[in-house]
């Protein structure tokens, strides 16, 4: 993809891992790289984030902004000093690469491996990485299914367990008070500070037929 003036539009993305570092050197190097390649720099994104530290379900804020530019097709490529500045893990790199490729946006590193979708080699590598990402997801799903099957075979129960419902926590004491102490459901509720509805649910669940004072809930 080439911009109408013949220059590829790029976003520069810089990332450092600790607060005692800064992105100035990366920015200078990438701006110079873009100048030599005759790229048009649309925007520069900079942030501090460890490659290990990850927010749940979220990607880094500045990288997200770069991705949004790509999705709107306002850029043709993202420039980074090296792939480790963009991807925080192999899986993360593959996932984001797949997204960029779907928008026909390249990820170009100043040094090392480059996914330049303007070249046949770049397109080949992008397709390979996308296939590997899908394969990894399939493996993960299969491991989860196998783990669940093995756990069930070993007697592990899934779903709601005793103690999950509030009434399960009091079931033993409710039935003791009704059967051994002769408490009414209302008195049991007052004694245990639970609702009469909860007491009634416990009695029904245990299939007990109360009589006398035990059958009175008034």
Average pLDDT score over residue span 86-91: 81
- Strand residue runs (E) in the chain: 9-16, 40-48, 77-80, 106-109
206-217 pLDDT, tens digit per residue, is: 774 444 444 444
Q: Output the average pLDDT for the chain.
A: 79
- In whole angstroms, give the CA distance from residue 106 to residue 97: 8
Predicted model pTM = 0.55
Confidence category of residue 93, pLDDT binned at 50, 70, 90? confident
Q: What is the pLDDT of residue 2?
A: 47
33-45 pLDDT, tens digit per residue, is: 999 999 999 999 9
SS3 48: strand
Average pLDDT score over residue span 92-98: 83
- In whole angstroms, give the CA distance from residue 47 to residue 50: 10
108-141 pLDDT, tens digit per residue, is: 998 877 777 777 777 777 677 667 667 767 777 7
**Which is higher by pLDDT, 126 or 192?**
192
Confidence category of residue 15, pLDDT binned at 50, 70, 90? very high
So where are the chain's domains? 9-131, 166-215
Average pLDDT score over residue span 90-105: 84
Q: What is the pLDDT of residue 214?
A: 47
Is pLDDT at 161 greater than 60 in this prediction? no
Q: What is the pLDDT of residue 166?
A: 57
- For residue 149, how many other CB atoms are within 10 A of its CB? 10
Q: What is the pLDDT of residue 68?
A: 95
Q: What is the pLDDT of residue 117?
A: 77
The DSSP secondary structure of 182-198, one letter per residue, reads ---HHHHHHHHT--HHH
Superfamily holding 9-131 = Resolvase, N-terminal catalytic domain (3.40.50.1390)
């Amino acid at each position: 993809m080439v911009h109408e003036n013949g220059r590829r539009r790029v976003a520069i993305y810089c990332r450092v891992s600790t607060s005692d570092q800064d992105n100035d050197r990366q920015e200078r190097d990438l701006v110079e790289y873009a100048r030599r390649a005759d790229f048009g720099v649309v925007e520069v994104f900079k942030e501090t984030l460890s490659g290990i530290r990850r927010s749940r379900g979220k990607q880094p804020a500045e990288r997200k902004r770069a991705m949004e530019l790509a999705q709107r097709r306002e850029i043709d490529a993202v420039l980074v000093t090296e792939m480790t500045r963009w991807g925080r893990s192999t899986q993360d790199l593959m996932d984001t690469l797949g997204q960029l490729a779907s928008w026909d946006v390249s990820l170009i590193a100043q040094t090392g491996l480059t996914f330049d979708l303007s070249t046949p080699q770049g397109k080949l590598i992008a397709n390979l990485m996308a296939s590997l990402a899908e394969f990894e997801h399939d493996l993960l799903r299969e491991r989860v299914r196998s783990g669940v099957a093995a756990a069930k075979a070993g007697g592990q129960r899934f779903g709601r367990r005793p103690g999950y419902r509030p009434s399960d926590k009091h079931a033993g004491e409710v039935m003791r008070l009704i059967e051994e102490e002769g408490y009414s459901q209302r008195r049991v509720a007052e004694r245990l500070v639970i609702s009469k509805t909860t007491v009634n649910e416990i009695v029904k669940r245990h299939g007990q037929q109360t009589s006398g004072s035990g059958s009175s809930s008034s």
